Structure 1
Amino acid sequence: MISIQLIDTKSPLYEMERELRNKILLHPIGIPDHAWEMHDEKSWHFVALENDIVIGCVVLVPLNPEQTNTQLMQMAVETKQQGIGIGTLLVNELLSFCKSKGIEKVVCHSRENAVPFYLNLGFEIYDAPFVEVGIKHSHMRINF
């Protein structure tokens, strides 16, 4: 059974989340471990758990002091678990959290191969595509 949990950087699950992000997102493109953690302390962290092991994660970073505008970042799912709905569970939990907290907007930089995933969850593309960390991305957002 897969469950989604909201954690912070003091949780014992945070280290497993960091390892997953490094393994899935950073290592394949040659970026050093922990390169994108500068916002972790102020962010909300959602993890997918199976048998108390983190198999998926996503980070929601507040972009303004009122915490009404946010950015979805660092979405990762264990390679063997991809394509079975874990990412959808994570993002749906994140979006429900946003609605309950009065968050008005979530933006993300979606890798080109993930654009259909976010479109299916209600996000829209805005602005022109761009290259980030050597990979084509699209600006995406969802407003509440």
Structure 2
Amino acid sequence: MPIRISAVAYQSAPYHDMLALRRRLLREPLGLVLTQVQLAAERDQVHLALWYDDVVAGTLLLVRPDAAGTARLRQMAVTPPLRGRGLGVALVRHAETMLRRLGARRIALSARETVVGFYERLGYQVEGERFIEVTIPHLCMARML
């Protein structure tokens, strides 16, 4: 089945599909909610949606590069039945290409401890010590473009 990845507008219908996926996969299992303040802060971020069989099956937020050229990846998720098929890899690589065009020289992210290996396979390296974010262990990771 072919996939499609594209940026979607904040508050558009696909954005709300992505938001539902993020809530279901990233927040609800931890007993957390996304607040209106958190969502409003995403207005200027790039919202990437991955469609599989014309359904939003993946999501990734991109924070544009800062003055030093560092961009950030946030809130990545792929629906569980489709994991292990290269969709997450496609989503990250698409994001890297977009961020490179926006002037990024480095990409950083906070990875849940359980997915560090995924990012390591994509060339990201752990920077610093383990920390707790949204109630679970994370590690800072980064990659030069």
What TM-score do the two structures reach when normalised by structure 1?
0.90
| Alignment of structure 1 residues 50-69 onto 2, 5 Å | 50-62=52-64, 64=66, 66=67, 68-69=69-70
The aligned amino acid for 1:40 is: E
In the alignment, the residues of structure 2 paired with residue 68 and residue 62 of structure 1 have an alpha-carbon distance, to the nearest angstrom, of 9
1:108-143 CA distance string (max 9 Å, x none): 110111101101111111111111122111110112
CA RMSD of aligned residues (A): 1.7
| Residues in 2 aligned to 1:53 and 1:9: alpha-carbon distance in whole angstroms | 18
Aligned-pair CA distance for 1:51: 3.0
Residue matched to 2:106? 105
Report the counterpart of residue 24 of structure 2 in structure 1.
23
User: Residue 125 of structure 2 aligns with which residue?
Assistant: 124
2-structure distance, mates of 1:42, 1:127: 28
**Runs (5+) with no aligned partner, structure 2:** none
Counterpart of 1:76? 77
Partner in structure 2 of residue 39 of structure 1: 41
* Structure 1 Cα separation of the partners of residues 124 and 26 of structure 2: 21
TM-score, normalised relative to structure 2? 0.90
Q: What is the CA distance between 1:34 and its match in structure 2? A: 4.6
Code of the residue aligned with 1:81 in structure 2: it is L
CA–CA separation in structure 2 for the residues paired with 1:40 and 1:2: 25
- The DSSP-based 3-state class of the residue aligned with 2:118 is helix
**Residue in structure 1 matched with residue 141 of structure 2 by the alignment:** 140
Q: CA deviation at 1:63?
A: 5.9
1:90 maps to which residue? 91
Aligned-pair CA distance for 1:105: 1.6
The one-letter amino acid of 1:30's match is G
| % identity of equivalent residues | 27
User: 2:65, 2:104 within 8 Å by CA — same for their partners in 1?
Assistant: no
Q: How many residues get paired?
A: 143
